[in-house]
Structure 1
Amino acid sequence: MARVSQEHLDARRRQILDGAARCFARNGFHATSMQDVLKEVDLSAGAVYRYFSGKEELITAIAAEVLTEVRGAFAEVSRQTPPPPLDELVGLVLGRMMGVWASLIIDGEPGFPRLIMQVWAEAARDKELAAVTRQGYEGLRESWDEVFRTYQDSGAMRSDIPAEHVTRTVIAMVQGFIAQQCLFGPAPVSVLQDGLRALTSMSGTRTTA
């Protein structure tokens, strides 16, 4: 029997993940059956189950892949001294995140926001997926914390506010932007970057009534 190459195995796994992502983004996780995935990728059950045991493992693999790409973006940033301005940093990370499935188009619009909303919703129910996403986000928080401490050490950011608090705020902002993409329609990352530039240009002077 001819030996199957690693390239073939990787391509087949990619085919299954992409097909499952289209199904989940189009119809939602719970409305998608494994039969739907089999039809989407045009493979037998045996071929698909060789790689993934079911929907839960598929969506966990999708979440892990997104988080891996974001960690890669931070690795790229860490090689820059000093780090880029905040608007550039957010654009780099968010662009890398949304670029994982740039070819995923549903009803003429980017499907990644719909897909990631499915991941977040399922993580609230599935303990295994929650553990994967929590571990990934802990790594992201550490990366953001390090960047913000660098900003503080250089004087670019006020140092009397814990870096961890800034991290939570920025992650919430990025998550909110992704949710807006799903709920209100697509918008380029430059919109978020413009908003960041406006906010960071505000003076620290407080007015009193």
Structure 2
Amino acid sequence: MARVSQEHLDARRRQILQGAARCFARDGFHGTSMQDVLKEVGLSAGAVYRYFTGKDDLIAAIAGEAVGGVRRAFEEAARTTPPPTPDVLIGRVTRALFTGGPFGLDPQAYAGLIVQVWSETLRSERLGTTLGEAYGGLRAAWAELVEAYRANGMLRADPPADRVARTLIATAQGFIVQLALFGDVEPEVLEDGLRGLMSMEMQRAS
């Protein structure tokens, strides 16, 4: 009997995750049953349970990928030397996040899925741990970015690096929430708004 290739196994797992993500984005974590997922992906229960033990396992896997995607987008955007200004940086992050995402969802649906993940961490210790680790990594990476701003003479020395990093992260999180709720937010909106706020100090100094 021929062995199933790793590529086939990975593709099947991806098929299940994408189908489950569509269900969760459409009907919510608690409004979706495993039968809904099976129907969406067109597979038998045995085929799906080979990869995931149940709905909680699916949610955890989707949460890990969604949160990991956000973290990677932040970290990749922060690697540029010299570092781009916050308006350019956040613009890059949001564009990377909302070009389909790892589940092939439209931008508003993907944003809504991320917001669901955040909400679910309030009741799930497993998801809370996943999100906490990702957030800690983001804060550390962006604190390094803040130090790079200082080294390039782009930022005053007095604001604590972690506080600036958390503010940048909160800006992107707010964008995700607005996109999920209203669907009419483009990265250019965030870029222009940040650019305007950044000009306040320059205007006062001139």
TM-score (norm 1): 0.89
Q: Is the 8 A contact 1:69 1:96 kept in 2?
A: no
User: Which ranges of structure 2 fall in alignment gaps of 5 or more residues?
Assistant: none
Cα separation, partners in 2 of 1:128 and 1:90, compared to 1, 3 Å: same
1:121 equivalent in alignment to 2:119: yes
Q: Write out the 4+ residue segments of structure 1 that deviate beyond 4 Å after TM superposition.
A: none
1:1-209 counterparts in 2 under 5 A? Answer: 1-99=1-99, 100-101=101-102, 103-105=104-106, 110-203=108-201, 205=204
Report the aligned-residue RMSD.
Answer: 1.9
TM-score (norm 2): 0.91
Q: Is the 8 A contact 1:34 1:55 kept in 2?
A: yes
User: Which ranges of structure 1 fall in alignment gaps of 5 or more residues?
Assistant: none
Which stretch shifts more, 65-74 or 82-91? 65-74
Using the TM superposition, give the Cα deviation of residue 65 of structure 1 relative to its aligned residue in structure 2, in angstroms.
1.5
2 CA distance for matches of 1:76 and 1:184?
27
Q: Deviations over 1:7-60 (max 9, x none)?
A: 111111111111111111101100111111111101111111111112222122
Cα separation, partners in 2 of 1:111 and 1:78, compared to 1, 3 Å: closer
Identity %: 56
Q: Which amino acid aligns with 2:59?
A: I
Q: Is the 8 A contact 1:88 1:193 kept in 2?
A: yes
Q: Is the 8 A contact 1:25 1:115 kept in 2?
A: yes
Q: Which amino acid aligns with 2:168?
A: V
Q: Deviations over 1:150-205 (max 9, x none)?
A: 10122101220101111111211111111111222232111111111111111264
